[in-house]
Amino acid sequence: MQRKALITGAAGFIGYHLSRRLLADGWQVIGFDGLTHYYDPALKQARLDRLEADPGFAFHQGMLEDEGRLTALVADLRPDAILHLAAQAGVRYSIDAPRSYVQSNLIGTHEVLEAARACPPAHLLMASTSSAYGANTRMPYAETDRATHPMSFYAATKIANEAMAHSYAHLFGLPTTMFRFFTVYGPWGRPDMALFKFTKAILNGDPIDVYNHGNMSRDFTYVDDLVEGITRLIATPPGTTPISAADSLSPVAPFRVVNIGNGAPEQLTDFITAIEAATGRQAIRNLLPMQPGDVPATWADSRLLTDLVGPLPRTDLHAGVSRFVEWYRSWNAR
Per-residue pLDDT tens digits for 142-157: 999 999 999 999 999 9
CATH number at residue 37: 3.40.50.720
Is residue 211 in some structural domain?
Answer: no
**Its pTM surpasses 0.85:** yes
pLDDT in tens, 241-262: 999 989 999 999 999 999 999 9
- DSSP E strand stretches across the chain: 4-8, 28-33, 57-61, 81-84, 123-129, 176-181, 184-185, 207-210, 217-218, 221-222, 255-260, 266-267, 284-287
| Residue 88 belongs to domain spanning | 4-187+220-261+298-314
Residue 25 lies in a domain: yes
Reported as a pLDDT band with limits 50, 70 and 90, residue 295 is confident
246 alpha carbon, distance to own chain's centre = 22
Is 270 among the domain residues?
no
C-alpha of 225 from chain center? 12
The answer to whether residue 86 is domain-embedded is: yes
The answer to whether the beta carbons of residues 5 and 22 sit under 8 Å apart is yes
* Domain-located, residue 243: yes
In a domain, 199, yes or no: no
Catalytic site residues? 154
Number of domains in the chain: 1
Average pLDDT taken over every residue of the chain: 96
> Is the residue at 12 inside a domain?
yes
User: Looking at residue 240, what is its pLDDT?
Assistant: 85
Whether 284 is in a domain gets the answer no
